[in-house]
Structure 1
Amino acid sequence: MRTVGCVVFDGVRAFDYAVIGEVFAAHRTSRGGLPAFDLRVCGPEGTRVRLGGGLERVPDAGLADLLHCDLVIVPGMEDPSAGFDPALLDALRAAHARGVPIASLCAGAFVLAAAGLLDGRKATTHWYVAARLAERYPAVVVDPDVLFTGDGAVWTSAGVAAGIDLCLHLVREAHGQQAAAGIARAMVTAPFRAGGQAQFIPSPVPDASGDDPLAAVRAAVLAELDHPWTVAGMARLALMAERTFARRFRGTTGVPPLRWLLEQRVLHAQRLLEETDLPVDDIAVRSGFGSAVSLRPAFTRRVGVAPRDYRRTYQGRRPT
């Protein structure tokens, strides 16, 4: 994946537009061993587009240029109930028919749905407008809980920061964990967030004042992933009762402690598979799974391929 097309039209959210520009920014990714992308802002040719927040942008290329991209991304818009230019929908259909992967951020899912690209597919959008998407496009299988979802051909993400999650995932799919982590470090953000967007639906905000014992626990666990951690053991580190710890941990991270632990162990195994020649059994032990037999099903459920297949694909892979 090298050429990325960012679609712009009147009403596009400036934040989503900026996310795409930041993740695939040529001025940064062309240095430090990160993949170099050719980001093309595509829209109505020769027309000044009005973005949200009073910003304006003249597209670099017309909609027809989407056919020549390796990936097309549609940002969200300020008003998802607005109509869409038939020329835009036709251009997306043509790119999809040619096999170009297409992604949307936030309410950009409404554009893909209007083009018919989400019919029969699982999709997501910002939780605030998820019910509206399902009502307006009943052929779409709307999942309001996930941060992003897709099948390789079409991707959708939840709102705001979830757009970063999806863009980094697309980088990871094409160029490996190391490339996505490098871009995430440059953006000062997490390369992967566990949990779904249900954790962001309005709920009491935990008090962040003073020391956070849960942060210390997470740091201790990450430092010794090969330790046989239990919820009871983590709760003792936090000086909390087990049920209190589990409740507060989920309120802070959005996922139960053991699910978070499993995600971190799989991520550590991914890094070791990419960056070392250690046998899979050793990687399993260092990641806290104990053996390759235990690692394999957890890894396959999370990543989609078995550890050995993942290593064949990504080991030593350098951004191209």
Structure 2
Amino acid sequence: MKKILLLLADGFEAAEASVFTDVFGWNRWEGDGNTELVTVGLREQIKCTWNFTIIPEKVISDIVLEEYDALAIPGGFEEAGFYNDAFDERFLGVIRYFHAKQKPIASICVASLALGKSGILQDRKATTYNHPTSHRQDQLRLYGANVQNELIVIDGHIITSSNPATGFEVAFLLLEQLTSETNVNRVKELMGFEI
């Protein structure tokens, strides 16, 4: 069984987290059954960007990182306090652990800024929120990333993406890294995606 740690910061976007819970949930029941996703945060309650409150299954202080095979991080909004948690040393420490072990790391939208802040994107290809009105790509460059103007960028074991619309594809890419293309196609077909 492959365990995926879904790392949630206060102010995360619920839609960006739900792509991981749905894709890996569908895989557990309808795919190869070989994945388990666990929601983890810095505290026992986390408020999403749009004031939806969730209770993660575990808090960081209660987990054993060695038990997990992959890391997934949804992005969020600065106005909702996302970077308070995403830039917290406990949060960054989790990212550094998965990178040191070369385990898959998947981030959506501005979650790549936490990867950058952790230091793991130095001289690596990556992307982040890329709307013309945003300066997030400039911010990512300051962390040493080789910013690509692409929807999704894969550099080794790290997946970054440019906006919330990429969420499902990022989740499917992570599932493929942990299972197989055949399995992903089965899950996509069952969920109604064109293959």
What TM-score do the two structures reach when normalised by structure 1? 0.53
Residue 41 of structure 1 corresponds to 39
Opposite residue 124 of structure 1, the aligned amino acid is T
| Bigger helix share | 1
Percent identity between matched residues is: 24
Let me know the Cα RMSD of the aligned residues. 2.3
Letter in 2 for 1:88: F
From the superposition, tell whether residues 86 and 174 of structure 1 become closer, same or farther in structure 2 (CA, over 3 Å): closer
Structure 1 unmatched runs, 5+: 192-320
Moved more, 28-37 or 178-187: 28-37
For these two proteins, the number of residue pairs brought into alignment is: 187
Structure with the largest fraction of strand: 2
Taking a change above 3 Å as real, the CA distance of residues 186 and 123 of structure 1, as seen in their structure-2 partners, is: same
4+ runs deviating over 6 angstroms: none
1:55 equivalent to 2:52? Answer yes
Shift of 1:136: 5.1
1:242-281 equivalent positions in 2, closer than 5 A? none
8 A Cα contact 2:125 2:146, kept in partner: yes
Unaligned runs of 5+ in 2: none
User: Alpha-carbon deviation of 1:147?
Assistant: 2.3
Contact 2:109/2:160 (8 A) holds in 1: yes
Q: Does 1:142 align with 2:162?
A: no
> Which amino acid letter does the alignment assign opposite residue 82 of structure 1?
Y
Larger deviation, residues 87-96 vs 182-191: 182-191
Specify which structure has the bigger relative contact order, considering alpha-carbon pairs within 8 angstroms and separated by 6 or more residues.
2
Alpha-carbon separation, structure 2, partners of 1:68 and 1:54: 31
How do 1:98-247 and structure 2 match up within 5 A? 98-128=101-131, 131-135=135-139, 137-138=141-142, 139-144=144-149, 146-191=150-195
Q: Identify which of 22, 30, 34 aligns with 2:28.
A: 30
Q: Per-residue displacement from partner, 1:218-271 (whole Å, max 9, x unpaired)?
A: xxxxxxxxxxxxxxxxxxxxxxxxxxxxxxxxxxxxxxxxxxxxxxxxxxxxxx
Given the two structures, how large is their TM-score scaled by the length of structure 2?
A: 0.84
Q: What is the CA distance between 1:130 and its match in structure 2?
A: 6.5
| Alpha-carbon shift at residue 95 of structure 1 (Å) | 2.7
Whose Rg is larger? 1
Report the 3-state secondary structure (helix = DSSP H, G, I; strand = E; otherwise coil) of the residue aligned with 1:161: helix
